[in-house]
Amino acid sequence: MKEQDYKNAKNGIKNLSNTDLSRSDLISIDLSRANLAGSNLKEAHLIGTNFSGSNLKDANLSRAKLNGADLSKADLMGANLTGANLSGADLRESNLIGVDFSEANLSGANLSRANLSGANLARVDLSKTELKEVDFTKANLQEAIISNVKH
């Protein structure tokens, strides 16, 4: 992680595309409507962070901690969220086309009206999630845990 990238994020700078924020601690930061396309947020602590309406296309969020984060109406097309913890996260109306969620924890998340076309949800925990009007066209749900969902 570059120190300047971290300072920019903490100070609310909204254009953070292609930045290295890996392993950073950005808990409960307001990054709503920010441009984080192509950014590296691998293993970052993003618990409770507000990403609503943000551009996270092709971002690397593998093994990131996004518990309770607000990703509503965010664009995560092509992002890598393998092994990420999104328990209790808000992903309503998000663009999740082609996202790799393999082995992620989405328990208790709200995915209402999200587009998960072509997403990889292999071995994902979807227990107790809100799945109203979700588009799962060509999504991989192999070995996903789907129990007590709301639809």
CB 35 within 8 A of CB 15: yes
Q: Within 13 A of 138's CA, how many CA atoms are on the CB side?
A: 6
Burial of 32 per CB tally in 10 Å (0-12, 13-18, 19+) = middle
Q: What is the pLDDT of residue 148?
A: 87
Taking the alpha carbons at both ends of the chain, their separation in whole angstroms is: 40
Domain edges within the chain: 1-151
Q: Tens of pLDDT along the chain (151 residues)? A: 566 665 666 666 689 999 999 999 999 999 999 999 999 999 999 999 999 999 999 999 999 999 999 999 999 999 999 999 999 999 999 999 999 999 999 999 999 999 999 999 999 999 999 999 999 999 999 999 998 888 7
Which residue from 101, 27, 89, 31 is spatially nearest to 63, judged by alpha carbons?
101
Q: Which fold has domain 1-151?
A: Pectate Lyase C-like (2.160.20)
CB 48 within 8 A of CB 67: yes
Which residue from 92, 100, 99, 62 is spatially nearest to 74, judged by alpha carbons?
92
Structure tokens at 136: 């799962």
